């Protein structure tokens, strides 16, 4: 108990701030990644060979953009787009400087997951919507997105967890967060107890997010019998 009191007095505020910074960066990045990733994924599905508006050229270009974005390691991307980060966020350092590369690396990932979720929709539902005279926007909203919502929610949880891991790398630009604390204090300053606590907090947060994501997905899944 004495160890805990001493530890909390010394590192408590630091770990609380690191936890909040990690959650903030990951939450904002996940939200923005879906703002841009969902339309991109929808466009890929619509322009596919069996889509509502087949367009091989557009579909190929979008596919290449997504594949290139997914193939660049985050630690390289983090430094490679520093000028773009400064242009968008006004700085390449700290929490604001980390969000831009996090969003850039997550958008292609989200687009692929959204594409897969929409591709799994029963083609009969799309045909039924067309037979009722629904336009493209109505089919996208009422059929594609509505029917794939449970899968999209689970994908959001996966994206959040993936970005939570990338936040540790963002410590290279002074972004802070639990990963940065574990490295700077636990490893570089030879404080294994700080590293262990930071890792435990990361595990707890990841498990919590995954549990919440699964719970919400089950709630909105019409196929689940309650």
Quote the domain boundaries for residue 55.
2-220
Distances (CA, A) of 70 to 51, 184, 217: 23, 28, 25
For residue 109, being part of any structural domain is answered with yes
CATH of the domain at 25: 1.10.3720.10
Q: What is the pLDDT of residue 38?
A: 93
DSSP secondary-structure letter at 51? S
Q: What is the pLDDT of residue 26?
A: 92
pTM of the complete model: 0.89
Q: What is the pLDDT of residue 9?
A: 80
Q: What is the pLDDT of residue 91?
A: 81
Q: What is the pLDDT of residue 172?
A: 63
For residue 120, being part of any structural domain is answered with yes
**The tokens 């591709």 sit on which residue?**
119
For residue 203, being part of any structural domain is answered with yes
For residue 226, being part of any structural domain is answered with no
CB 142 within 8 A of CB 135: no
Q: What is the pLDDT of residue 28?
A: 93
The size of the chain, in residues, is 226
For residue 225, being part of any structural domain is answered with no
Number of domains in the chain: 1
Q: What is the pLDDT of residue 3?
A: 67
Burial environment of residue 132 by CB neighbours within 10 A (0 to 12, 13 to 18, 19 or more):
exposed
Q: What is the pLDDT along the chain (226 residues), one digit of tens a residue?
A: 666 778 778 778 888 888 898 899 999 999 999 999 999 999 999 998 888 888 999 999 999 999 998 888 888 888 888 899 889 888 877 788 888 999 999 999 999 999 998 888 877 888 787 777 778 888 888 888 888 888 999 999 999 999 988 887 777 666 778 877 877 777 677 778 888 888 888 889 889 999 998 898 888 876 654 5
- Residue 194 φ then ψ, to 5°: -65, -40
């Amino acid at each position: 108990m004495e160890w805990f009191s001493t530890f909390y007095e010394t590192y408590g505020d630091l770990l609380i701030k690191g936890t909040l910074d990690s959650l903030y960066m990951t939450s904002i990045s996940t939200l923005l990644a879906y703002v841009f990733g969902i339309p991109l994924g929808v466009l890929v599905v619509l322009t596919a060979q069996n889509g509502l508006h087949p367009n091989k050229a557009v579909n190929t270009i979008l596919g290449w953009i997504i594949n290139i974005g997914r193939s660049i390691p985050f630690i390289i991307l983090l430094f490679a787009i520093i000028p773009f980060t400064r242009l968008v966020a006004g700085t390449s350092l700290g929490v604001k400087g980390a969000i831009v590369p996090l969003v850039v690396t997550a958008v292609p990932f989200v687009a692929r997951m959204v594409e897969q979720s929409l591709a799994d929709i029963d083609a009969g539902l799309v045909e039924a919507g067309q037979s009722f005279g629904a336009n493209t926007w109505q089919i996208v909203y009422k059929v594609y997105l509505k029917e794939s919502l449970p899968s999209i929610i689970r994908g959001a949880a996966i994206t959040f967890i993936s970005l939570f891991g990338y936040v540790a790398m963002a410590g290279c630009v002074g972004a802070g967060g639990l990963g940065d604390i574990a490295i700077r204090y636990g490893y570089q300053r030879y404080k294994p107890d700080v590293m262990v606590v930071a890792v435990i907090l990361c595990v707890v947060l990841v498990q919590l997010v995954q549990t919440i994501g699964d719970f919400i997905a089950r709630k909105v899944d019409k196929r689940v019998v309650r």
